A = this chain, B = another copy of it.
Protein backbone atom coordinates (compact mmCIF):
# COMPACT_ATOMS: atom_id res chain seq x y z
CA UNK A 1 0.00 0.00 0.00
CA UNK A 2 0.95 3.67 -0.17
CA UNK A 3 1.77 5.78 2.87
CA UNK A 4 3.34 9.13 3.77
CA UNK A 5 6.72 8.26 5.22
CA UNK A 6 8.93 10.59 7.25
CA UNK A 7 12.65 10.44 6.50
CA UNK A 8 14.03 13.09 8.82
CA UNK A 9 13.66 16.87 8.86
CA UNK A 10 12.16 18.18 5.66
CA UNK A 11 11.88 14.78 4.01
CA UNK A 12 8.63 13.01 3.32
CA UNK A 13 7.50 10.59 0.63
CA UNK A 14 4.18 9.03 -0.47
CA UNK A 15 5.44 5.58 -1.28
CA UNK A 16 4.89 1.86 -1.04
CA UNK A 17 5.14 0.27 2.37
CA UNK A 18 4.07 -3.14 3.67
CA UNK A 19 0.41 -3.58 4.50
CA UNK A 20 -0.45 -3.39 8.18
CA UNK A 21 -1.74 -6.49 9.93
CA UNK A 22 -3.14 -7.47 13.31
CA UNK A 23 -0.26 -7.88 15.77
CA UNK A 24 -2.14 -7.90 19.06
CA UNK A 25 -5.51 -9.47 19.96
CA UNK A 26 -7.08 -6.03 20.46
CA UNK A 27 -5.84 -4.55 17.17
CA UNK A 28 -7.97 -3.54 14.25
CA UNK A 29 -6.73 -2.94 10.73
CA UNK A 30 -8.60 -0.12 9.05
CA UNK A 31 -8.74 0.90 5.41
CA UNK A 32 -8.25 4.66 5.45
CA UNK A 33 -10.96 6.60 3.58
CA UNK A 34 -9.62 10.03 4.40
CA UNK A 35 -7.13 11.81 6.61
CA UNK A 36 -6.07 15.29 7.47
CA UNK A 37 -2.81 16.99 8.38
CA UNK A 38 -2.13 18.49 11.78
CA UNK A 39 0.16 21.35 12.67
CA UNK A 40 2.01 18.76 14.72
CA UNK A 41 2.90 16.91 11.51
CA UNK A 42 4.60 20.08 10.34
CA UNK A 43 6.50 20.26 13.62
CA UNK A 44 7.67 16.68 13.09
CA UNK A 45 8.83 17.55 9.59
CA UNK A 46 10.82 20.43 11.02
CA UNK A 47 12.56 17.97 13.33
CA UNK A 48 10.95 19.35 16.48
CA UNK A 49 9.71 15.98 17.71
CA UNK A 50 12.82 13.84 17.94
CA UNK A 51 11.00 10.70 19.13
CA UNK A 52 9.68 10.30 15.59
CA UNK A 53 12.13 8.09 13.75
CA UNK A 54 12.98 8.03 10.09
CA UNK A 55 10.76 5.52 8.30
CA UNK A 56 7.72 6.32 10.37
CA UNK A 57 4.34 6.72 8.63
CA UNK A 58 2.87 10.03 9.83
CA UNK A 59 -0.67 11.09 10.71
CA UNK A 60 -3.13 10.78 13.61
CA UNK A 61 -6.45 12.06 12.22
CA UNK A 62 -8.43 9.79 9.92
CA UNK A 63 -11.66 8.03 9.03
CA UNK A 64 -11.94 4.61 7.48
CA UNK A 65 -13.52 1.19 7.30
CA UNK A 66 -12.45 -1.69 9.52
CA UNK A 67 -11.16 -4.65 7.49
CA UNK A 68 -9.91 -6.99 10.20
CA UNK A 69 -9.96 -7.23 13.98
CA UNK A 70 -8.08 -9.35 16.49
CA UNK A 71 -9.89 -11.83 18.74
CA UNK A 72 -9.85 -9.40 21.66
CA UNK A 73 -11.84 -6.69 19.90
CA UNK A 74 -15.37 -6.86 21.25
CA UNK A 75 -17.20 -3.81 20.01
CA UNK A 76 -15.53 -3.15 16.68
CA UNK A 77 -15.91 -5.42 13.67
CA UNK A 78 -14.97 -5.63 10.04
CA UNK A 79 -17.14 -3.36 7.92
CA UNK A 80 -17.59 -0.68 10.59
CA UNK A 81 -17.11 2.86 9.37
CA UNK A 82 -15.03 4.50 12.06
CA UNK A 83 -13.34 7.64 13.21
CA UNK A 84 -9.79 6.96 14.36
CA UNK A 85 -9.02 9.01 17.41
CA UNK A 86 -5.64 10.70 17.75
CA UNK A 87 -5.44 9.04 21.16
CA UNK A 88 -5.37 5.30 21.85
CA UNK A 89 -6.26 3.89 25.24
CA UNK A 90 -5.23 0.65 26.92
CA UNK A 91 -8.32 0.96 29.12
CA UNK A 92 -6.57 -0.64 32.07
CA UNK A 93 -4.01 1.78 33.51
CA UNK A 94 -4.65 4.28 36.24
CA UNK A 95 -5.05 7.18 33.82
CA UNK A 96 -7.35 5.33 31.41
CA UNK A 97 -9.55 4.43 34.37
CA UNK A 98 -9.85 8.15 35.10
CA UNK A 99 -10.72 8.91 31.47
CA UNK A 100 -7.32 10.57 31.08
CA UNK A 101 -6.48 8.59 27.95
CA UNK A 102 -3.96 11.12 26.70
CA UNK A 103 -1.68 10.10 29.57
CA UNK A 104 -2.17 6.34 29.07
CA UNK A 105 0.58 4.34 30.73
CA UNK A 106 -0.22 1.06 29.00
CA UNK A 107 0.84 1.68 25.42
CA UNK A 108 -1.75 4.21 24.36
CA UNK A 109 -1.86 7.99 24.43
CA UNK A 110 -0.61 9.78 21.33
CA UNK A 111 1.21 6.99 19.49
CA UNK A 112 -0.13 7.07 15.90
CA UNK A 113 2.26 8.79 13.54
CA UNK A 114 4.54 9.32 16.49
CA UNK A 115 5.71 6.10 18.13
CA UNK A 116 3.98 3.70 15.71
CA UNK A 117 2.94 4.05 12.08
CA UNK A 118 0.14 6.51 11.54
CA UNK A 119 -2.93 7.08 9.42
CA UNK A 120 -1.65 9.01 6.41
CA UNK A 121 -1.75 5.77 4.46
CA UNK A 122 -4.12 3.51 2.62
CA UNK A 123 -4.48 1.38 5.75
CA UNK A 124 -3.40 1.42 9.35
CA UNK A 125 -3.14 -0.84 12.39
CA UNK A 126 -5.03 0.60 15.38
CA UNK A 127 -4.09 -0.79 18.80
CA UNK A 128 -6.74 -1.14 21.51
CA UNK A 129 -9.35 -0.77 18.83
CA UNK A 130 -12.41 -0.87 21.06
CA UNK A 131 -11.33 2.17 23.02
CA UNK A 132 -9.61 3.99 20.17
CA UNK A 133 -12.12 4.20 17.34
CA UNK A 134 -15.65 5.54 17.22
CA UNK A 135 -18.34 4.14 14.96
CA UNK A 136 -19.60 6.96 12.79
CA UNK A 137 -23.30 7.69 12.88
CA UNK A 138 -25.14 8.24 9.64
CA UNK A 139 -25.28 11.76 8.42
CA UNK A 140 -21.71 12.69 9.24
CA UNK A 141 -19.53 12.93 6.16
CA UNK A 142 -15.93 11.76 6.11
CA UNK A 143 -14.84 15.35 5.89
CA UNK A 144 -16.82 16.41 8.90
CA UNK A 145 -15.74 13.34 10.85
CA UNK A 146 -12.07 14.17 10.33
CA UNK A 147 -12.51 17.27 12.47
CA UNK A 148 -13.33 15.03 15.45
CA UNK A 149 -10.14 12.97 15.40
CA UNK A 150 -8.22 15.72 17.15
CA UNK A 151 -9.30 19.32 16.52
CA UNK A 152 -12.76 19.41 18.03
CA UNK A 153 -12.16 17.29 21.16
CA UNK A 154 -8.88 19.13 21.76
CA UNK A 155 -10.57 22.51 21.54
CA UNK A 156 -13.42 21.34 23.75
CA UNK A 157 -11.59 19.33 26.41
CA UNK A 158 -8.31 21.17 26.74
CA UNK A 159 -9.74 24.61 25.99
CA UNK A 160 -13.39 24.90 26.91
CA UNK A 161 -13.73 22.29 29.66
CA UNK A 162 -10.38 23.02 31.30
CA UNK A 163 -11.28 26.69 31.03
CA UNK A 164 -14.56 26.02 32.78
CA UNK A 165 -16.62 28.19 30.44
CA UNK A 166 -20.02 28.99 31.96
CA UNK A 167 -23.14 30.79 30.77
CA UNK A 168 -22.61 34.54 30.88
CA UNK A 169 -18.80 34.37 30.71
CA UNK A 170 -16.49 36.54 28.70
CA UNK A 171 -14.10 34.23 26.86
CA UNK A 172 -10.94 35.34 25.10
CA UNK A 173 -9.56 32.89 22.56
CA UNK A 174 -6.01 33.68 21.48
CA UNK A 175 -5.42 32.14 18.07
CA UNK A 176 -8.04 31.53 15.39
CA UNK A 177 -6.55 28.59 13.56
CA UNK A 178 -8.43 25.29 13.49
CA UNK A 179 -8.10 24.73 17.24
CA UNK A 180 -9.08 28.27 18.10
CA UNK A 181 -12.08 28.09 15.78
CA UNK A 182 -13.03 24.78 17.36
CA UNK A 183 -12.84 26.53 20.70
CA UNK A 184 -15.12 29.30 19.42
CA UNK A 185 -17.69 26.71 18.39
CA UNK A 186 -17.50 24.57 21.49
CA UNK A 187 -17.32 27.49 23.91
CA UNK A 188 -20.67 28.49 22.39
CA UNK A 189 -22.10 25.24 23.77
CA UNK A 190 -22.02 26.90 27.21
CA UNK A 191 -23.60 30.20 26.14
CA UNK A 192 -20.95 32.69 27.15
CA UNK A 193 -21.96 36.32 27.08
CA UNK A 194 -19.23 37.15 24.59
CA UNK A 195 -16.29 35.56 22.82
CA UNK A 196 -13.34 37.68 21.79
CA UNK A 197 -10.97 36.05 19.32
CA UNK A 198 -7.46 37.31 18.73
CA UNK A 199 -5.34 36.50 15.68
CA UNK A 200 -2.65 38.14 13.62
CA UNK A 201 -4.23 37.12 10.32
CA UNK A 202 -7.21 38.99 8.97
CA UNK A 203 -8.75 35.96 7.25
CA UNK A 204 -8.67 34.04 10.51
CA UNK A 205 -10.29 36.90 12.38
CA UNK A 206 -13.04 36.84 9.77
CA UNK A 207 -13.39 33.11 10.23
CA UNK A 208 -13.69 33.56 14.00
CA UNK A 209 -16.58 35.96 13.51
CA UNK A 210 -18.20 33.54 11.07
CA UNK A 211 -17.93 30.70 13.60
CA UNK A 212 -19.57 32.75 16.34
CA UNK A 213 -17.05 35.06 17.98
CA UNK A 214 -18.51 38.43 18.97
CA UNK A 215 -15.32 40.37 18.35
CA UNK A 216 -12.09 39.63 16.58
CA UNK A 217 -8.98 41.58 17.45
CA UNK A 218 -5.42 41.70 16.22
CA UNK A 219 -2.76 41.33 18.90
CA UNK A 220 -1.67 44.76 17.68
CA UNK A 221 -4.91 46.19 18.98
CA UNK A 222 -4.83 46.91 22.70
CA UNK A 223 -6.41 43.60 23.60
CA UNK A 224 -6.02 43.98 27.35
CA UNK A 225 -7.67 47.39 27.35
CA UNK A 226 -10.52 46.21 25.14
CA UNK A 227 -11.20 43.20 27.32
CA UNK A 228 -11.22 45.38 30.41
CA UNK A 229 -13.57 47.82 28.77
CA UNK A 230 -16.14 45.18 27.87
CA UNK A 231 -15.96 43.50 31.28
CA UNK A 232 -16.48 46.44 33.56
CA UNK A 233 -12.75 46.68 34.20
CA UNK A 234 -12.37 43.15 35.57
CA UNK A 235 -10.97 41.12 32.70
CA UNK A 236 -12.04 37.89 31.04
CA UNK A 237 -13.50 34.94 32.93
CA UNK A 238 -11.68 32.47 30.70
CA UNK A 239 -8.77 32.75 28.29
CA UNK A 240 -7.89 29.93 25.89
CA UNK A 241 -4.41 29.86 24.39
CA UNK A 242 -4.55 28.20 20.98
CA UNK A 243 -1.26 29.21 19.39
CA UNK A 244 1.72 27.79 21.25
CA UNK A 245 4.09 30.75 21.50
CA UNK A 246 5.08 32.72 24.60
CA UNK A 247 3.41 35.94 23.45
CA UNK A 248 0.06 34.21 23.07
CA UNK A 249 0.32 32.61 26.48
CA UNK A 250 1.36 35.87 28.07
CA UNK A 251 -1.58 37.67 26.51
CA UNK A 252 -3.93 34.99 27.79
CA UNK A 253 -2.67 35.55 31.32
CA UNK A 254 -2.77 39.32 30.95
CA UNK A 255 -6.47 39.49 30.04
CA UNK A 256 -7.76 37.32 32.87
CA UNK A 257 -9.86 38.62 35.78
CA UNK A 258 -9.21 37.77 39.43
CA UNK A 259 -10.58 34.29 39.89
CA UNK A 260 -10.41 33.53 36.18
CA UNK A 261 -8.94 30.59 34.29
CA UNK A 262 -6.33 30.33 31.55
CA UNK A 263 -6.50 27.11 29.53
CA UNK A 264 -3.44 26.42 27.44
CA UNK A 265 -4.09 24.33 24.33
CA UNK A 266 -1.14 25.40 22.20
CA UNK A 267 1.86 23.15 21.61
CA UNK A 268 4.81 25.07 22.98
CA UNK A 269 8.45 24.75 22.04
CA UNK A 270 9.83 27.40 24.37
CA UNK A 271 9.41 28.53 27.97
CA UNK A 272 7.82 31.80 28.96
CA UNK A 273 8.10 34.18 31.88
CA UNK A 274 5.39 33.76 34.51
CA UNK A 275 4.80 36.96 36.45
CA UNK A 276 4.20 35.46 39.86
CA UNK A 277 4.85 38.86 41.42
CA UNK A 278 1.52 39.95 39.94
CA UNK A 279 -0.31 36.64 39.81
CA UNK A 280 0.20 35.28 43.33
CA UNK A 281 -2.58 37.49 44.74
CA UNK A 282 -5.00 37.25 41.81
CA UNK A 283 -6.67 33.83 42.26
CA UNK A 284 -5.76 32.66 38.79
CA UNK A 285 -5.89 29.06 37.56
CA UNK A 286 -3.72 27.94 34.65
CA UNK A 287 -4.20 24.56 33.01
CA UNK A 288 -2.32 22.59 30.39
CA UNK A 289 -3.28 19.36 28.73
CA UNK A 290 -3.25 16.82 25.98
CA UNK A 291 -6.64 15.77 24.65
CA UNK A 292 -8.17 12.57 26.05
CA UNK A 293 -10.90 12.31 23.36
CA UNK A 294 -13.33 11.12 26.04
CA UNK A 295 -15.93 13.58 24.74
CA UNK A 296 -15.65 12.53 21.11
CA UNK A 297 -18.85 10.41 21.08
CA UNK A 298 -20.85 13.28 22.54
CA UNK A 299 -19.39 15.80 20.11
CA UNK A 300 -20.24 13.51 17.21
CA UNK A 301 -23.83 13.38 18.44
CA UNK A 302 -24.02 17.16 18.53
CA UNK A 303 -22.56 17.30 15.02
CA UNK A 304 -25.12 14.82 13.82
CA UNK A 305 -27.87 16.90 15.44
CA UNK A 306 -26.67 20.00 13.62
CA UNK A 307 -25.42 21.81 16.72
CA UNK A 308 -21.84 22.11 15.48
CA UNK A 309 -20.45 23.23 12.16
CA UNK A 310 -17.11 21.48 12.26
CA UNK A 311 -17.26 20.57 8.58
CA UNK A 312 -16.81 24.24 7.74
CA UNK A 313 -13.25 23.99 9.02
CA UNK A 314 -12.35 22.01 5.89
CA UNK A 315 -11.26 24.57 3.33
CA UNK A 316 -9.41 22.38 0.82
CA UNK A 317 -9.73 18.84 -0.52
CA UNK A 318 -7.19 16.53 -2.15
CA UNK A 319 -6.94 12.96 -3.37
CA UNK A 320 -4.51 10.50 -1.79
CA UNK A 321 -2.18 10.98 -4.75
CA UNK A 322 -2.12 14.72 -4.05
CA UNK A 323 -0.92 14.44 -0.48
CA UNK A 324 2.27 16.30 -1.26
CA UNK A 325 0.34 19.28 -2.58
CA UNK A 326 -1.89 19.10 0.47
CA UNK A 327 1.15 19.36 2.76
CA UNK A 328 2.56 22.27 0.78
CA UNK A 329 -0.67 24.19 0.94
CA UNK A 330 -1.28 23.46 4.62
CA UNK A 331 2.23 24.63 5.41
CA UNK A 332 1.37 28.10 4.08
CA UNK A 333 -1.81 28.96 5.95
CA UNK A 334 -1.52 32.69 5.44
CA UNK A 335 -0.98 32.44 1.72
CA UNK A 336 -3.56 29.73 1.19
CA UNK A 337 -6.05 30.82 3.85
CA UNK A 338 -6.30 27.12 4.59
CA UNK A 339 -7.81 25.97 7.85
CA UNK A 340 -7.95 22.17 7.51
CA UNK A 341 -7.38 20.05 4.44
CA UNK A 342 -9.15 16.77 3.73
CA UNK A 343 -7.11 14.15 1.89
CA UNK A 344 -9.59 11.61 0.57
CA UNK A 345 -9.31 8.20 -1.06
CA UNK A 346 -9.61 8.67 -4.79
Contact = CB atoms under 8 A, between A and B. Distances in A.
A67 to B, nearest CB: 20
Interface stretch (A143-151, A171-179, A266-274): A266-274
Contacts of A194: 305
Interface string A272-286: 111111011111111
Contacts of A267: 280-281
A230 to B, nearest CB: 11
A296 to B, nearest CB: 11
Contacts of A270: 276-277
What is the size category of the interface that chain A forms with chain B? 35 or more
B283 A285 contact: no
A193 B279 contact: no
Contact of A271 (B91, B259, B273): B273
A65 interface: no
Contact of A276 (B71, B264, B299): B264
Contacts of A188: 191
A130 interface: yes
Contacts of A299: 168
Contact of A283 (B103, B246, B259, B284): B103
Contacts of A106: 74-75
A92 B138 CA distance: 22
Interface in A172-217: 188-191, 193-194
A30 B285 CA distance: 36
Given A100-B283, A249-B276, A276-B272, A191 B25 contact: no
Contacts of A272: 273-274, 276
B298 A102 contact: no
A284 B288 contact: yes
B95 A244 contact: no
Given A103-B258, A268-B276, A274-B272, A298 B167 contact: yes
B277 A288 contact: no
Given A26-B72, A97-B99, A302-B168, A286 B283 contact: no
B259 A167 contact: no
Nearest to A279: B288
A269 B264 contact: no
21 contacts: A25-B25, A25-B71, A74-B90, A74-B106, A75-B92, A92-B130, A95-B258, A98-B259, A100-B259, A103-B258, A103-B259, A168-B302, A188-B191, A193-B301, A193-B302, A244-B280, A267-B281, A271-B274, A274-B274, A281-B288, A282-B288
**Top 6 A-B pairs ranked by shortest CB distance?**
A168-B298, A268-B276, A189-B191, A274-B274, A72-B72, A91-B91
Given A98-B259, A244-B280, A264-B279, 10 more contacts: A25-B71, A100-B258, A190-B190, A190-B191, A266-B280, A268-B280, A271-B276, A280-B290, A283-B288, A283-B290
